[in-house]
Structure 1
Amino acid sequence: MTSYKVLDVNDDLPIRTKGKVHSGKVRSVYWLTDADSKRLINEKGYNVPADTELAIMVISDRISAFDCIWQGENGLNGVPGKGIALNSVAAHWFNMFNEAGLAGNHIVDIPHPYVWIVRKASTVKVEAIARQYITGSMWRDYAKGVRDFCGINLPEGLTANQKLDKVLITPSTKGIITGVADIPPVDDVNITRSNITNNLSVFNFRTADDVAQYEKLLVEGFELISGELAKLGQIFVDTKFEFGYVEDINGAEQLIYIDEVGTPDSSRIWDEASYKDGKIVENSKEGFRQLLINNVPESDVLLNKDRMDEREQLAKDYILPESVMLEVSNTYVGIASKIVGKEIVIPADPRQEVIAILDADYGLIIK
């Protein structure tokens, strides 16, 4: 039985907050009181306006796939080291984006490998997706005869996993968009560029120029990561970025990167040598997704959105072997260590470490 302690529950830490903790599939966000935000900006010298709202963002080791959380045997309800791997990779790329002069991001401090202090952003309601290879859902649709993807027409004769001539931008909705005739009111719907430019305020864009700016930042970020991964013998296949607006220290509004970038959760990463040999070796969550597809009793439950109730029940009942969770851990920690250039060390007890640091160094723990 493994000795790892995973951080699977991350929304019940004794952090002083205002309002409820917002818990997503992987991260939980604790909005700090106005007094604590002001105090930390002053004490730590954060380069943000004095009235900026700050939050503690705690990543978990939970693993989600097909919009469900999956669990392992022996109480291993997460992947050891997954949280630290994701945070380390995203912070690494954010730093490189800064150095390359692309755009800023929402992180103002990293107290612990599982924790970011982030600033509040006005979120753009677009999942910014970039692809350089035809694979996954895009290939499945193409094989069925679909040629129009988010207003982009693909040529005949493409083959599975083929590299495309250029990086394609294939956006989808972030959250439910209402009041737009040709966009159904459900989450994660593919949209076109003209859907966005014709409904700027619906997607929370200020101007049409900002749509061009997000596309520029998406492609530049994609190409930077792709070039760096190529040095490591890895292929950057596709990815999802998110964007939002913040005010800089002078009060001017900026479009920045938010959420995470270039991680094994938000991207497909392939081993280059294997690809050249005609095989796909995944160094990202896609490997876990394929494992589930190949092992659950009926894969259509995972792939068919109309069977979501069955899928959620399956995820509750389906307990993965510990060996699988540790294999996934090796994938995440392995690729993250390569990217950041040093071995990722899995903490013995991440929860207690986080509480201790937020208490001693930040004064945010309720006694």
Structure 2
Amino acid sequence: MSLADQILAVNNDLPIRTDKPVHSGKVRSVYWLTEADSKRLIEEKGYDVAPDAPLAIMVISDRISAFDCIWHGEGGMKGVPGKGAALNAISNHWFRLFREQGLADSHILDIPHPFVWIVQKARPVMIEAICRQYITGSMWRAYSKGERDFCGIQMPEGLKKDQKLPELLITPSTKGILEGIPGVPAVDDVNVTRDNIMDNFEAFNFTKASDIEQYEKLLQEGFGVISNALAELDQVFVDTKFEFGYVNDAAGKEKLIYMDEVGTPDSSRIWDGAEYRNGNIVENSKEGFRQFLLNHFDDADILLNKDRMAERTALARDNILPASALMDLSKTYLSIAEKVIGEKIVLSDNPKTEIVEILREQYGLVD
């Protein structure tokens, strides 16, 4: 079997019973279960959710997204071998630690297969909650051009590229386009201040103003849990993105939970600790692939400039990347995942067939 066959690139064509369109994002596809199937599973499996909570099957893929585009490689490689399994394994590990250490639950109710989550519908907080422990990436680019105000936080003079910040910074941005918030442009992914959020908490989908402190607490505690665990593996947790939402438990109590994925090489920067102490940056995250793309194309501005999105989309569509670039990334994902979970990730020859079989036999979701 070729490498290309092992890659799960298309994940929106599974025969899962649903009466709604399949929602396919950059990497995951979401199948909303019928009302009857949601109710049946909640009862059969004893999930701690409201009896009428809508459930979904979320299937990850091995597609590789960077700079908001999907990339492909030589030999029909429509993704990165092992990427989906690695991302899910890492997220599962951190979500479990969060729960065990009393932080908060996540949207995941069940994990039928390494590529699959059964999730509950959450009401998302409209914030991409970004935490930074080091100054690098887009923040360094802005700082080096003289910017000192980041999301309402004044940064000191004299910081050097890649150095540890005096304290953990929360630099939130909007998730989606939010209309009618004073001082916040109605565009996706725009930086906001804590005051913006406090003054307009309902527009950001918070139930009450005091939940902002709770989200910040979960952000800092979650970052700390992952940072400490990675430090034991001599890995530096540089920065990451968290997402939050609300759900009701079986007793009808509303709670704030973690959503999406956490602490993965896709949503975070992770550096090798020994190399960092020697003054080198060795990325154990998708950032290394982003740097490859910036060096691979003559005009890096296409990848960095949001006004050139049409050119960027064409670049990703029309260029076949060297297989070696995707295989290097595969090694990065698998090796960091195996370090985090402490065991080898075994790749399936045919993940799609396995998923369908499990969902048919054990969950009754395939006709």
TM range (shorter): over 0.9
Give how far 1:108 is off.
Answer: 0.4
Give how far 1:154 is off.
Answer: 0.4
TM-score between the two structures when normalised by the length of structure 1: 0.98
Q: Equivalent residues in 2 for 1:295-314 (5 A)?
A: 295-314=296-315
> What letter is aligned with 1:316?
R
Counterpart position of 1:268 = 269
Q: What RMSD, in angstroms, separates the aligned Cα atoms of the two structures? A: 0.9
SS in 2 for 1:208: coil
Counterpart position of 2:232 = 231
- Structure 2 Cα separation of the partners of residues 122 and 86 of structure 1: 23
Contact kept? 2:23, 2:29, Cα under 8 Å: yes
Contact kept? 2:4, 2:78, Cα under 8 Å: no
Counterpart position of 1:288 = 289
Superposed CA deviations along residues 247-300 of structure 1, whole A, max 9, x for unmatched, are 012111100001111011000000000000010000000010000001112111
SS in 1 for 2:210: helix
Counterpart position of 1:123 = 124
Contact kept? 1:133, 1:164, Cα under 8 Å: yes
- Seen in structure 2, the aligned counterparts of structure 1 residues 4 and 343 have a Cα distance that, compared at 3 Å, is farther
Give how far 1:2 is off.
Answer: 3.4
> What letter is aligned with 2:260?
D
Q: Equivalent residues in 2 for 1:8-23 (5 A)?
A: 8-23=9-24
How many residue pairs align between the two structures? Answer: 366
- Structure 1 Cα separation of the partners of residues 241 and 110 of structure 2: 23
> What letter is aligned with 2:73?
G
Contact kept? 2:4, 2:77, Cα under 8 Å: no
Counterpart position of 2:96 = 95
Counterpart position of 2:350 = 349
> What letter is aligned with 1:239?
T
Counterpart position of 2:79 = 78
Counterpart position of 1:63 = 64
Contact kept? 2:3, 2:81, Cα under 8 Å: no
Superposed CA deviations along residues 178-219 of structure 1, whole A, max 9, x for unmatched, are 112311111100100111111111100011110110000000
Give how far 1:85 is off.
Answer: 0.4
- Matched residues, percent identical? 64
- Structure 2 Cα separation of the partners of residues 238 and 354 of structure 1: 33
- Seen in structure 2, the aligned counterparts of structure 1 residues 293 and 3 have a Cα distance that, compared at 3 Å, is closer
SS in 1 for 2:243: strand
Counterpart position of 2:243 = 242
Q: Equivalent residues in 2 for 1:1-367 (5 A)?
A: 2=3, 4-366=5-367
TM-score between the two structures when normalised by the length of structure 2: 0.98
Contact kept? 1:234, 1:270, Cα under 8 Å: yes
- Structure 1 Cα separation of the partners of residues 4 and 284 of structure 2: 24
> What letter is aligned with 1:194?
D
- Structure 2 Cα separation of the partners of residues 3 and 70 of structure 1: 14
SS in 2 for 1:77: coil
Give how far 1:322 is off.
Answer: 1.4
SS in 1 for 2:263: coil
Give how far 1:4 is off.
Answer: 4.8
Contact kept? 1:268, 1:282, Cα under 8 Å: yes
Q: Which runs of 5+ in 2 are unaligned?
A: none
- Structure 1 Cα separation of the partners of residues 4 and 188 of structure 2: 38
Contact kept? 1:172, 1:188, Cα under 8 Å: yes
SS in 2 for 1:132: strand
- Structure 1 Cα separation of the partners of residues 19 and 154 of structure 2: 48
- Structure 1 Cα separation of the partners of residues 323 and 4 of structure 2: 11
Give how far 1:3 is off.
Answer: 6.1
> What letter is aligned with 1:170?
T
Q: 4+ runs of 1 displaced by more than 3 Å?
A: 1-4
- Structure 1 Cα separation of the partners of residues 281 and 331 of structure 2: 17
Contact kept? 1:4, 1:80, Cα under 8 Å: no
Q: Which runs of 5+ in 1 are unaligned?
A: none
SS in 1 for 2:240: strand
Superposed CA deviations along residues 294-339 of structure 1, whole A, max 9, x for unmatched, are 1112111001111111000000011111121111100001100000
Greater mean deviation of Cα atoms: 319-328 or 121-130: 319-328
Contact kept? 1:73, 1:320, Cα under 8 Å: yes
Contact kept? 1:132, 1:237, Cα under 8 Å: yes
- Structure 2 Cα separation of the partners of residues 201 and 40 of structure 1: 32
SS in 2 for 1:92: helix
